[in-house]
Amino acid sequence: MPKLFIIRHCESVANSRNLLASRMDFPLSEKGLLSASQIAGNFSKKHKVGRIISSPLTRAMQTAAPFSEIFNLNIETDIRLMEQDFGNFAGRTFEELRDNKEYQWDRSKRWDWIPAGNGESYRMVAQRVLPFLTEVGKLKEGENILIVTHAVTMRMIRGILENTLPLYPENLPANGEIWEVDFEGPGRPYVIK
């Protein structure tokens, strides 16, 4: 059974500045670049992958790069792995958002909350990720895949894999956190390690 390894990008410049990056194209910080190399090196001592699929945003691609070098694989990109579009809130500091009554601070209430300025609800993120996972589930037996993505997208992936939506994890995965799952396609609950 193929394994999916799902990683949140390492620390970005936006993370280090406490900014809501959304789909803005921030690179990794120096700390993030170093972490990506260390994580990839440690990962390769235990695991092998046959494909790397990443969000096209720079911070995800830079996280994928050391894995690509170690495994001698091209990085495939898929826009469905991009971060949630936070609309007008993108690029603001969390300090700036603190008193904004339109910003939904309660992560448990974001399933149908659509950020002003053509943003995406969590439901919309899940709806774009599900077809991606369906396609990945049709791949040949034994091909392990590394997926490089973002905090909200990763949480919606977890909700799909654990078959809990519209309930989803409220806590954000840490930068560089990797989840592992034996995967045959969506539609049944999986145990994520």
* pLDDT value at 180 more than 90: yes
Task: For the chain, list the domains and their CATH numbers.
Answer: 3-182 (3.40.50.1240)
Q: What is the per-residue DSSP string for 110-129?
A: -SS---TTT---HHHHHHHH
Helices 122-137 & 151-161, crossing angle to 10 degrees? Answer: 60
What pLDDT score was predicted for residue 112?
96
pLDDT tens profile 64-76? 999 999 999 999 9
Q: What is the mean pLDDT of residues 119-144?
A: 89
pTM: predicted TM-score of the whole model, two decimal places? 0.93
Q: Which of the given ranges, 31-45, 136-150, 161-175, has the highest pLDDT on average?
A: 31-45
Asked if residue 111 has pLDDT above 90, the reply is yes
**pLDDT value of position 141:** 65
